[in-house]
Chains A and B, each alone.
Chain A
Amino acid sequence: MNPVPDGPVPGSTAPDGTTPDGTTREETVPGGAAVAEVVLEGELDISTLDGAMRRVEEAERDRPRLLVVDLSQLAFVDSSGVRLVLLAQERARAGGRRLAVRLGTGPALRVFQALGLLDKLDVLPPPPVGETAPGART
């Protein structure tokens, strides 16, 4: 079950794969997971940033059509975490893929909201209890 809401999502590539300047980008996605999810826990700051980025990049290796980064479990997030998401989003955009985040109701939501990112990112609600998203859950 694909947890992504219907319809075009602001900030991502248009449905036909055209990038803003109009050229069509063809992207062959070899067989891999349709959706991958990375759940980050603990604290996300300058000291833990490298480890978190590696995990995201690992998930990106399979070129999932949608990569979900779950920040809702983090006890602390600062600008390092924001940069991680922004960079992952840029890579997704360039690769014709999509990125979404789960922010939960705690520190991650607070930080991303203050920075005005809620309408610039694909923000997903938490998965309904009992149902997990398909794909790798790290």
Chain B
Amino acid sequence: MNTTRAHGTALQRLAVALLGAVTPEAIGRVAVTVSVQLLAADAGVLFDRTDACTLTSLFSIGWPAEIEAQYRHLALHRGRPLSDAVLDGSAVWLEGADQWRARYPEMAPIGTAGDREATACLPLRVDDRDLGAIVFSFDHPHAFGPDERAYLEAVAALCAQALDRARLLVVERRARADAERERDRMEVLARTAGLMEEPLSVEERLQRLADLMVPALADWCAVHLVRGDEVEQIAVAHDDPARLDFVLRLQERYPPDPSARTGAFEVSRSGTPSFLPDIPDELLVAGAVDEEHLQLIRSIGMRSAVLVPLVVRGHSLGALTLVHAESGRRFDELDLAFVQRVAGTAAVALDNARLYQQQRRIAHTLQAALLPTGLPDAPGLRLAARYRPQTDERTGVEVGGDVYDVVAAPDGRWAAVVADVCGKGPDAAALTALIRHTLRAEVAHGLGPVDALRRLNDAMLREARADGRFATVAHARIAVEADGGATVTLVGAGHPPALVRRADTVELVPTPGTLLGVFPDPVLRETTLRLDPGDILVLYTDGVTEARGVDGFYGVERMTAAAGAPGPWTAAALADALLTDVVTFQQGVLRDDIALLVVEVAP
């Protein structure tokens, strides 16, 4: 038979066989079994170069088991045939036992063990990459002629290429898995940050955070917060509701010890993370109250845990705990680093949310302080007032705007006022305070409504602000008459018309005048009207009429219609009805403050 053609056919067969193998281990197996068969060798082994000084056997055939085991990992060592082949990059041909003994006396006993004689050690190289080596051994002396050497080297070259391909695949797969892991993590991180911007209570927010972590990052997640001197578990999450329920009931039965030196309580207090890639059973034992508790804890199957503090501005707000259990996954350092990033994001966002809540509380407290604490008892009249601030989610937390008041005048009349300062914020709020207190003072001095507003205007001008801020005011003096009715004297300064309800009719009473706080000489005049028992006067701010909903402006027409609904109405009921109507119209989102002051002449 033509040897060249036989070699050619054999190489083709090897090439085809190698195509079917994907992993380095599979390459090793195919390369060795097929080429040993083609070469009619008695033994073969393929080594992978695992690092600069080590070869690791991927597959071997034909050697006694002890030899195989002993030489699974080889350290490269010059003066040994395989090492020389790899280090020099050229094959070492040992044609028989005497060549072994002559060239490699130390290794000869091993090399010729089991009646081996001839051995060929061929390096596996592609371009400048050292991939390992392949070794063939024969039971008889064998002269490796030039054709045969070429043939063996061709075999080695094919094996080298196949191994190279397999290694690249491994690297590529690992890189892709890492990239996907990284991308999933970035998504979790982004969603954590986004989560914190929603208007939620602290508890809801933390529960959502915990839910975000499972099952992608862990089987279990818990969040603890420091509250004063104590650390509380605020949220627990697991993808399986049955397991979650089990743990919650377990915690109810055996409440965790807040003074424990380990675990989330400690991490929350100390601000130091705890990394338990493998949770030791001793830890579970230490945390158990009794044998039954221990069994129940063990049944959860916790294997690996990461506990990181939620640290912001140098202090710890609490802790984020992640645990792997039934999935069998294990946390590594990369996971710890990532969880710390998540905790960092969560802590900052949590802090922001807290500051925002604090700000809201302050704003609401201030706002409440700007309004009268109550309405006086006015014999012959029934009074009701309603106030709603602008919905603060749209513009941040602000005070300011509308104000109302009712106070007794020395002449026996009641002085009522509704005012609207333009704009928001502390400056507007300060102006509302000025308005309320100045008018009270002027009323107490016995000034009539027009004069009182003029004095108020002067006081506002004396503030000498340069911001163009102004206020509109409706001011009424109400005298209860002997017959049970009332005489109302109204003065308006740039303010919407007053509304009067008599029986079932509603009338708008314009109160033209100049806004206050800008001009030294506002135009102001009195309008007088008579109310019978049961009649109702409504003073309001343009937060009502200028309210905007999907249907356009609320407007005077709707307000008039609402106020004209069949009665009888009491002041409080009408105030509620009007407020509800305009708030509903805006679907609960108020673009401006609303103030309503309702005066009913007792029937």
Q: Which residues of A contact B (CB under 8 A)?
A: 11, 20, 78-80, 82-84, 86-87, 90, 114-117, 119-120
Once the chains are docked, how many angstroms separate the CA of A131 from the CA of B14?
96
Any chain A CB within 8 A of the CB of B523?
yes
- Are B514 and A83 interface neighbours, CB within 8 A? no
Stretch at the interface among B104-112, B116-124, B281-289, B465-473: B465-473
Chain B interface main SS type: loop
One of B422, B423, B468, B512 near A116 (C-beta < 8 A): B512
Any chain A CB within 8 A of the CB of B519?
yes
B contact residues around A80 at 8 Å (CB): 422
A11 (CB) vs chain B CBs: closest residue: B519
Once the chains are docked, how many angstroms separate the CA of A86 from the CA of B423?
14
- Are B513 and A116 interface neighbours, CB within 8 A? yes
B472 (CB) vs chain A CBs: closest residue: A115
Once the chains are docked, how many angstroms separate the CA of A115 from the CA of B518?
11
Smallest CB–CB gap between A81 and chain B, Å? 10
Mask of B467-484 contacts with A, CB within 8 angstroms, 1/0: 111101000000000000
Any chain A CB within 8 A of the CB of B494?
yes
Once the chains are docked, how many angstroms separate the CA of A84 from the CA of B519?
15
Identify the 3 closest CB pairs spanning chains A and B, nearest first: A79-B422, A83-B468, A116-B514
One of A78, A84, A87, A117 near B546 (C-beta < 8 A): A78
Q: A79-B423, A120-B514 are in contact. Are A115 and B469 (CB under 8 A)?
A: no
- Are A116 and B515 interface neighbours, CB within 8 A? yes
A contact residues around B467 at 8 Å (CB): 83, 87
Any chain A CB within 8 A of the CB of B493?
yes
B contact residues around A119 at 8 Å (CB): 514, 523
- Are A115 and B494 interface neighbours, CB within 8 A? yes
Any chain A CB within 8 A of the CB of B522?
yes
B contact residues around A116 at 8 Å (CB): 493-494, 512-515, 522-523
Q: Which residues of B contact A (CB under 8 A)?
A: 422-423, 466-470, 472, 493-494, 496, 512-515, 518-520, 522-523, 542, 546
Once the chains are docked, how many angstroms separate the CA of A119 from the CA of B496?
17
One of A87, A115, A120 near B468 (C-beta < 8 A): A87
- Are A115 and B514 interface neighbours, CB within 8 A? yes
Once the chains are docked, how many angstroms separate the CA of A86 from the CA of B469?
9
Smallest CB–CB gap between B203 and chain A, Å? 34
A–B Cβ pairs within 8 angstroms, 9 of them: A20-B520, A78-B546, A79-B423, A79-B470, A82-B468, A86-B468, A87-B468, A114-B496, A116-B494
Once the chains are docked, how many angstroms separate the CA of A90 from the CA of B470?
13
- Are B515 and A84 interface neighbours, CB within 8 A? no
B contact residues around A117 at 8 Å (CB): 494, 514-515
One of A20, A83, A87, A114 near B494 (C-beta < 8 A): A114
Smallest CB–CB gap between A114 and chain B, Å? 7
Once the chains are docked, how many angstroms separate the CA of A134 from the CA of B274?
77
Residue of A20, A80, A82, A84 with most partner-chain B CB within 10 A:
A82
A contact residues around B512 at 8 Å (CB): 116
B545 (CB) vs chain A CBs: closest residue: A114
- Are A120 and B519 interface neighbours, CB within 8 A? yes
- Are B518 and A86 interface neighbours, CB within 8 A? yes
Residue of A11, A84, A120 with most partner-chain B CB within 10 A:
A120
Once the chains are docked, how many angstroms separate the CA of A82 from the CA of B469?
9
A contact residues around B520 at 8 Å (CB): 20
- Are B468 and A90 interface neighbours, CB within 8 A? yes
- Are B470 and A86 interface neighbours, CB within 8 A? yes
A contact residues around B546 at 8 Å (CB): 78
- Are B422 and A82 interface neighbours, CB within 8 A? yes
B contact residues around A90 at 8 Å (CB): 466, 468
Once the chains are docked, how many angstroms separate the CA of A102 from the CA of B472?
22
Once the chains are docked, how many angstroms separate the CA of A78 from the CA of B518?
17
Smallest CB–CB gap between B169 and chain A, Å? 57
Once the chains are docked, how many angstroms separate the CA of A120 from the CA of B457?
15
Once the chains are docked, how many angstroms separate the CA of A91 from the CA of B496?
28
Once the chains are docked, how many angstroms separate the CA of A135 from the CA of B466?
28
Once the chains are docked, how many angstroms separate the CA of A80 from the CA of B546?
14
Once the chains are docked, how many angstroms separate the CA of A114 from the CA of B513?
8
A79-B423, A82-B422 given; 17 more Cβ-contact pairs under 8 Å: A11-B519, A80-B422, A83-B468, A86-B468, A87-B467, A90-B466, A90-B468, A114-B494, A115-B472, A115-B514, A116-B514, A116-B515, A116-B522, A117-B494, A117-B515, A120-B518, A120-B519
